[in-house]
Structure 1
């Protein structure tokens, strides 16, 4: 079942051009190559974000404020139209009817399982595209009380509108700190000054060797190198199937405790936890296949096949971090400057298997990440898209990316969230859970931080992964085991 429109489905449509010089500056502006890529079959991806609120969400307040904030962004008040003469897609500013974008469904107040209802609602959204007769975004406001929340908002954006970091920054520009409604939220700032640090001839050689190895693996993956067929690996056509979205929050303090005890980075810990969680999940699934029934949670025997190749397409944002206050000023003027998708990716291998020492997961993850940090792989994958585009056109780029993505097992990405509780037009947010659908993988793991929590957001194909909550359990349990082991090792070292 095809649920995402391809480039060929975009039709010539009549539009009403907005008045004003700032709008006319964007008339007939073509989509960037990366934005066009997200209309190709197999790469037709939507970003979907769930937002929990402490109070019921007032639709009239939200609509009124969106008109004066989000709609000032040209991309959110423009249609994507196929030019008859050139065949390219162009941005055409239009008058936006906010009622066509903010959807408030009538819900039964006596729903038996409201949390499951919200999951089902999001899954149903992944079955259908946004009509191209309007700008490609919408917001669904669910007047339903779930566990811990009195209102839920579901944002949906076509990925051609921007990458994860730019859209997160744009969303936060529409919020304020709950404790000070005049103050914008702040994002955590990395202390690292650059992506690659070259300090000696040896470091230059490391960058050269790691980059060369990454290029070879990329070419092999494009041509023939596939991940092992595991219970996590999606089948052909998985991008056209609906998704199930689940999330699980853990204490950020636990992540930081492991980080400090092992002298590693937060990313090292998160990827180590992910590697451990995937290993435990796969061990259970293989146990069930072997035994023909449900394996008990206490079954610790390692039945994972040896030499599993399991890789993640790990996305990197290549732009300088957008300042929220700068974005607010740009939105007021309606001139956004450079905007869009500026992302590269690396092929990140996971070492799958049960470890007697939980800290080994983090150590192995750190070794792999350190190698990726001393390579030009994200820049290479970004620029190869432009090279293939110039030489062979957008169709070839779409097929290239689809082949590489499909030959890996999952997508992995992370976006920093605000450090303070934020209010969305007067509605205090309890959590943010962004994810995607339309990718040619059965699993995507997205990591987002918010205040003192870190949330694992899973987007899964239920035909492949019918029990995503169990995978969330494995991730949560893996963090507990790693934290306890790290603190015990630290305490033992102090006592010596």
Structure 2
């Protein structure tokens, strides 16, 4: 394994963005890093404002995608396939260059895969492959990628863990794209195990059919008016809360909330895999979505964890909804970074890499502030009911579009520093990040290597806690990215979330809300 000192040294040696003259200026600079395959240098479009924001010192965020493999990883096979897939994406074969006007632009370059594929030498007698991988990613989160090359790398660890024979760790700078788009791009590099020529199948939301009666149109007009009025009102309220949060409104100081400058701390990234069927059972019983259940389970887990933390040193007793150690009215919110540009889908990304077609790409990020209900509930199903109400309310708002517009306006009027400062205040005034990503319905292989799980996360964000849910076939992987100086007992928090799922599932069964055949979809 690469030593912690070596990883830290690579961070210190990271170069500043290369400066280059525009094409119509006299060629007098060294462009040896900026050569295309035909040795001609050219500049592409500028970085989007959101992508530029991720180069500010307080927003230097990297996305991590940890992939478990059922077999040992063949390094040569991975390298050969990357040449024909990922490297054809312009963002993964371009430098981010600062020109003489101070603007950052994408400049295509010839990629040296030897600098991007890292295969550390492993100790064959290591005690625990799980601990090795976890420590490796922890040390990786202390480093950055040298800006003299495209900002991504892939670490191949042929270490046997409890749930895989080897592990691949993709690290991608957030300026290359938002998390959802990058995971879609990664899936576009995979194929079904059952059909090596076919792309993965990702679930899509089914539209419900509505029967039309004689009174349907009148009812539809009334519902439409009410829907528009609620949409406008919710948007006004959400934008108002966004402005208050950007100014002074902070979350409650809890054991989960980090102080300023948390973004510079390394992250302990751990994951736990549970049955997706358990979440589907709850979903079907309560007529909700998987996202509702994931949020409800998380709220339950955070409530259990915080009750224990606040009750330390106090007389132990059975906690109830009315008698517990939690403070009253805890304000705890998650900041969701939403790409308002519609995702192009796996098929379009695969076609782009295979046939050099064009797709829309880039960070166009708005903010959504998602409140979490913290409190113990005598009925565990209340967590899911509250989560559904919260998500339904947030779906009925243009919050992301308007917060994106506000951030763009601040950037244009006051510059990148002010925009960065505002974004940093928004995030530091909230407690955590949360996301739920949909994965393939069938087993897939990454260049022929069958995957056992996919665990996405990130580091460099100004939060001490980030929680991601990622589905894959019939499993759900819960991923925690944690600042250990704030949350030293990451495994306990993870246990609380997993145990909460079991409590909610058991409550569904005990109440007789589910039939055996209802859990098949």
TM-score by length of 2: 0.88
**Structure 1 residue 328 displacement after superposition:** 1.6
User: Cα offset for 1:488?
Assistant: 2.4
Instruction: Compare 255-264 and 431-440 and name the one that shifted more.
Output: 255-264
CA contact (8 A) 1:2 1:240 kept: no
C-alpha distance 209-69 of structure 1, shift in aligned 2 (>3 A): same
Which residue of structure 2 aligns with residue 128 of structure 1?
143
Map 1:196-211; keep pairs closer than 5 Å: 199-211=223-235
CA apart distance, 1:189: 0.6
Match of 1:172 among 187, 197, 204: 187
Alpha-carbon distance in structure 2 between the residues aligned to 1:31 and 1:259? 41
> Would you say the 8 A contact 1:315–1:413 is kept in 2?
no
Q: Is the 8 A contact 2:252 2:330 kept in 1?
A: yes
Pair 1:69 & 2:85 matched: yes
Partner residue in 2 for 1:490? 512
Give the drift of 1:117.
Answer: 1.1
SS across alignment from 1:369? helix
Secondary structure, counterpart of 2:384 in structure 1: helix
Residues 1:109 and 2:121 are matched in the alignment: no
Distance in 2 separating the partners of 1:315 and 1:171: 20
The secondary structure found in structure 1 opposite 2:387 is: helix
CA deviation profile, 1:278-314 (whole Å, cap 9, x unmatched): 00011111122547xxx79x87762111111111112
Asked if the contact 1:250/1:455 (under 8 Å) is kept, the reply is yes
Indicate the residue corresponding to 1:276 in structure 2.
300
Residues 313-392 of structure 1 aligned to structure 2 (within 5 Å): 313-392=335-414
Q: CA deviation at 1:172?
A: 1.2
On the 8 A contact 2:17/2:147 being kept in 1, the answer is: yes
Q: Give 1 or 2 for the bigger CA radius of gyration.
A: 2
Distance 1:424 1:342 in 2: 28
The match for 1:18 among 12, 15, 36 is: 36
Whether the 8 Å CA contact 2:94–2:108 is kept in 1: the answer is yes
Q: CA deviation at 1:477?
A: 0.8
* 1:27 to partner: Cα distance: 2.0
On the 8 A contact 1:3/1:127 being kept in 2, the answer is no
CA shift digits 1:351-372 (9 cap, x unpaired): 1111111011111111111111
RMSD: 2.5
Bigger shift: residues 173-182 or 375-384: 375-384
Alignment of structure 1 residues 276-315 onto 2, 5 Å: 276-288=300-312, 290=314, 302-315=324-337
SS of aligned partner of 1:432 = strand
Q: Which runs of 5+ in 2 are unaligned?
A: 1-7, 21-30, 209-219, 517-521
CA distance in 1, matches of 2:380, 2:504: 5
Contact 1:4 1:240 in 2 (8 A): no
Deviation at 1:454, TM superposition (A): 1.2
Aligned to 2:448: 426
Give ranges in structure 1 of 5+ residues lacking alignment: none
Change (3 A) 1:299 1:116: farther
Instruction: From the superposition, tell whether residues 384 and 281 of structure 1 become closer, same or farther in structure 2 (CA, over 3 Å).
Output: same
Deviation larger for 246-255 or 183-192: 183-192
Q: Paired residue for 2:468?
A: 446
CA distance in 1, matches of 2:515, 2:436: 33
* Structure 2 counterpart SS, 1:87: coil
In the aligned structure 1, how far is the partner of 2:83 from the partner of 2:138?
28
In structure 1, the residue matched to 2:215 is none
What SS does the corresponding residue of 2:52 show, helix, strand or coil?
Answer: helix
Match status 1:236 vs 2:260: yes
Indicate if the aligned counterparts of 2:69 and 2:167 stay in contact, CA closer than 8 A.
yes
CA deviations over 1:241-292 (Å, ceiling 9, x no partner)? 100001111111111111111111211111111100000011111122547x
* Count of equivalent residues: 483
